[in-house]
Chains A and B, each alone.
Chain A
Amino acid sequence: MSDHDYRPKSKVGQWFNDRLPLLTLANHLTDYPTPKNLNYWWTFGGILTFCLITQIVTGLTLAMHYIAHADMAFESVEHIMRDVNYGWLIRYIHANGASMFFLAVYIHIFRSLFYGSYKAPREIIWIIGIIIYLLMMAAAFMGYVLPWGQMSFWGATVITNLFSAIPLVGEGIVTWLWGGYSVDNPTLTRFFTLHYLIPFLILGLVVLHIWALHVPGNNNPVGIDIKKPSKDTVPFHPYIVIKDGFALLMFMIVFAFFVFYAPNILGHADNYIEANPMVTPAHIVPEWYLLPFYAILRSVPDKLLGVVAMLSAILILAVLPWLDTSKIRSAVFRPLYKQFYWILVADVLILGYVGAMPAEGLYLLIARVATAYYFLHFLVILPVLGFKEKTLPVPLSITEPVLGGSPNLAAARNKESKIE
C-alpha cells in the first residue's frame, strides 16, 4: 500500500513515527481508498462502531451504580432510574441501545448477503463478523438478566437449561453454569462479570474486523474488484466520514425517539416484576432480536436436536463463503439469487414473528416450514444456484457504466440506476 511511504512533516512527528508509526496508521485511515459508489447500506459499519462505544460508555456508568446481587439488583436498577442524576437517561440509552445495535447488525449482515461481501477475498472479515455477532448475542442475553426481573430470571433459566440437552454431561454443565442447583445469586454475579468482559472482546474483534477489511478494501454495490486508488475510489476522509456521519445522525434520530418517547416498547412488561422463582410467567420470550432463533429452537420437537438446529442456524453463516458457489458477488447481477434473497429476508421475519407467538397450532406449523426453508436456502439453493444461474454481464469498473464505453453499456446503466 502506498501509505507505507508516509512521512510526517514535522520533526517531532517523524521522531515519534519512527518509533511508533501511529501517524502512518492515521494517514492510512484518512487516505484509505473507498469505492465511490457505496450506498447507504454501507454506512452501518460506522453506525455499529457508534453503538458499541455507546454501550460501553453507558454500561460503565451503570456499573458504577448497579449492584449484582439477587436481593438488590432490581432495587439498584430502580435506584438508577429514580435517584441517580440522569440515571433514567443512561439506562434507557443502554437498554434501547442493545436493540439499536442488533437492528444495525442485522442490516449490516443482510447487506453482506445481498452484495456477496462474504466471498473471496473477504471470508475472514465475514467469519470475524459472525464471531462478533455470537458474542453480541451472549452479551445481550446476559445483560437482559441483570435487572433481575421475571423475564431476566426465567429467560436465564430457559436458555441455560438448553445445555442440559447435551448427552451425559448436560446436567453437570448446567449446574456448573448456574453455580448451584438453580439460577440464583452466583448465576447473576458471573453473568455480570461476563457481561462486563464481552464488550471488550468485541472491541478487539472489531479492530481485527476492520484490519481484515483494509487488506482487500471494501466490496461495493457492483461487486467487482477495483483498482485502488483510482477514479473508482475516494479517500475515506472526508467523503466517507461525512456520509457515515449523515447516516449516523439519521440513525440517532430513530434511536432518540425510542429512548425519549417509547423507552419500554421493545422490552417486556414482566421484567418490571422482580424475579420470583416460585411464579413462572405465562409466556417466556426473549428479546425481539433473538426471536428467529428461538422459533427455530422450538420448531424441533426434540430438545437436543432443537438446540443443534438453533446453533447450526448461526454457525451455518460461518461456512457461507463456501456454500455460495457463484463467482459473481453482487445480487444486482444475479436475477435468481436476488429473488431468493428477499424470500430469505421474509423467512427470517416470519421466524421472528412466530418466535413471539405461543408454539402451538398454526404458529408451530409456520415455524417448522420457515425453519426448513432457512436451511434449504443455505444448504441447497445457494450451492445449486451458483452453477445453474445465468448471471447478467458485469461492468469492468465502477466509472465505466457512467462514462460509457462498456460493451454492456445498456445493462450496466440499468443496474446503476437500480443501485441508487
Chain B
Amino acid sequence: MKNLFKLFSIIILIITSNSNSFAAEKVEYLKTDWSFKGLFGKFDRASLQRGYQVYTEVCASCHSMKYLSYRNLAEPGGPEFSEAQAKAIAASFEVTDGPNSDGEMFTRPGKLSDKFVMPYENVKAAQAANGGAYPPDMSVLVKARGGGVDYIYSLLQGYEEAPNNVSLDDGVYYNKYMYGNKIRMAAPLSDGLVEYGDGTNATVEQMSKDVTTFLMWSAEPHLESRHQMGFKAIVYLIILTVLVYFSMKRIWSRVESEV
C-alpha cells in the first residue's frame, strides 16, 4: 500500500522534473494567468473572440490554419460566435470551388463547412513571399512548441534590439525567446494595431494573450469537455476505489493476512 503510493509519487516527480528541465534550457518565459489551465480550466470567450480578430487581421496574412473550419467558430467550447456571426465571417472570405458542370473552377463566398482559407496556394508560394521561410500552419502550433502557450505568448513580446555581438542579416530579427534568437518574422504586434469591438485596450501584451488563447483553442478544441469529463471520471474512479478498498478489507478479513 505505502509502496504503491511511494512509487506513484516518485514517478510523477520524475516526469514533472524532467519536463521542467527541458524548458529550463532556455530563458524563463513570461508568465500570465491562463484561464484554461487547472482542473476546471475553461477558455475566456471574450478573449477567444478577440484572439480570433487578431489572428484574422494580423497573423492570417501569412499563417494558415488548415485544420479549422468556419463552423468551429460557433461550436461549444470555442469562441462561440453565434451561428449568424460565424456565417458572416465565412461569407467574408472568397473560396475557390468547382469544377462546375462546365469544368471550370469558380469562386464563391465561404460557408460554415469550409476550411479556413489559406493565405498562400502552397508551401512554395509561402516561402517565396517570405524570404524563404515558411510561416508555420497555426492549427496545432501551441502543441508543436516545447514551451507551449508560454512560449508563444513570450515570443510575441520578445522582440528587442539585437545585442552588439549579434549581427543580423536582412529580414532577420532578434527575439530573446526564439530558439537561437533569430527569427524571420518581423514583430507582428504593436500597440493599437487592431481595434477591439468590446473596447478592450489593444496593447501588445493584451493582443498576445488573446491570440495565444485562440491558438490554444485551435490546437485543443475539446479542451473544455476534456477537463469536465476528466473531473467526473476521476471523482468516479476515486469513489469506486474507496468502495472496492472496503470490500477488499471485508473479503480478506476471512484469512489471516494483511492487504
Contacts and interface: CB of A to CB of B under 8 A. Distances in A.
A250 B4 contact: yes
Nearest to B228: A260
A89 B229 contact: yes
A211 interface: no
Nearest to A247: B4
Interface string A217-261: 000000000000000001000110011011101101110110111
B131 to A, nearest CB: 17
B15 A266 contact: yes
Interface in B7-22: 7-8, 11-12, 14-15, 18-19
Contact of A260 (B7, B233, B241): B233
A78 B67 contact: yes
Nearest to B5: A250
B84 interface: no
A246 B248 contact: yes
Given A269-B146, A273-B144, A253 B238 contact: yes
Contacts of A242: 244, 247-248, 251-252
B139 A78 contact: yes
B3 A41 contact: yes
Contacts of B148: 269
Interface string B112-136: 0000000000000000000000001
A291 to B, nearest CB: 10
Contact of A249 (B139, B231, B240): B240
A248 to B, nearest CB: 9
B222 interface: yes
B230 A256 contact: yes
A259 B230 contact: yes
B144 A243 contact: no
Interface in B213-259: 219-222, 226-227, 229-231, 233-234, 237-238, 240-241, 244-245, 247-248, 251-252, 255-259
Interface string A66-79: 00000000010010
B11 A260 contact: no
A37 B229 contact: no
B26 to A, nearest CB: 12
A349 B10 CA distance: 12
A375 to B, nearest CB: 24
A264 interface: yes
A265 B8 contact: no
Nearest to A87: B222
Contact of A243 (B8, B231, B259): B259
A397 to B, nearest CB: 13
A36 B241 contact: no
Given A239-B252, A239-B255, A252 B4 contact: no
B241 A253 contact: yes
A164 interface: no
A327 interface: no
Contacts of A399: 256
A247 B248 CA distance: 11
Interface string B44-75: 00000000000000000000000100001000
A261 B15 CA distance: 14
A260 B67 contact: no
A82 B248 contact: no
A420 interface: yes
Nearest to A266: B15
B256 A256 contact: no
Contacts of B140: 78, 272
Contact of A238 (B15, B143, B251): B251
A193 interface: no
Given A103-B11, A253-B234, A260-B226, A234 B255 contact: yes
A88 B225 CA distance: 10
A420 B255 contact: no
A41 B4 CA distance: 8
B39 interface: yes
B241 A249 contact: yes
A260 B234 contact: yes
B19 A257 contact: no
Interface in B181-195: none
B1 interface: yes
Contacts of B219: 272
Interface in A112-148: none
A106 B73 CA distance: 44
Interface string B197-226: 000000000000000000000011110001
B179 to A, nearest CB: 8
Interface string A265-298: 1100110110000000010000010000000000
A269 B226 contact: no
Contacts of A183: none
A378 B138 CA distance: 50
Contacts of B67: 75, 78, 82
A353 B14 CA distance: 10
Contacts of A260: 226-227, 229-231, 233-234
19 contacts: A36-B255, A92-B226, A103-B11, A246-B244, A246-B245, A246-B248, A253-B241, A254-B8, A256-B233, A256-B234, A257-B230, A260-B234, A261-B230, A264-B143, A269-B143, A273-B144, A282-B179, A356-B18, A402-B256
Listed from nearest, the 8 A-B pairs whose CB atoms lie closest are A260-B230, A272-B144, A249-B241, A272-B143, A36-B257, A78-B67, A242-B248, A272-B140
Given A40-B1, A41-B3, A249-B244, 14 more contacts: A81-B222, A239-B251, A242-B252, A243-B259, A245-B244, A247-B4, A249-B241, A253-B238, A253-B241, A254-B11, A254-B12, A257-B230, A261-B39, A399-B256
Interface of B: 1, 3-4, 7-8, 11-12, 14-15, 18-19, 39, 67, 72, 136, 139-140, 143-146, 148, 179, 219-222, 226-227, 229-231, 233-234, 237-238, 240-241, 244-245, 247-248, 251-252, 255-259
Interface of A: 36-37, 39-41, 75, 78, 81-82, 88-89, 92, 103, 107, 234, 238-239, 242-243, 245-247, 249-250, 252-254, 256-257, 259-261, 263-266, 269-270, 272-273, 282, 288, 349, 353, 356, 399, 402, 420
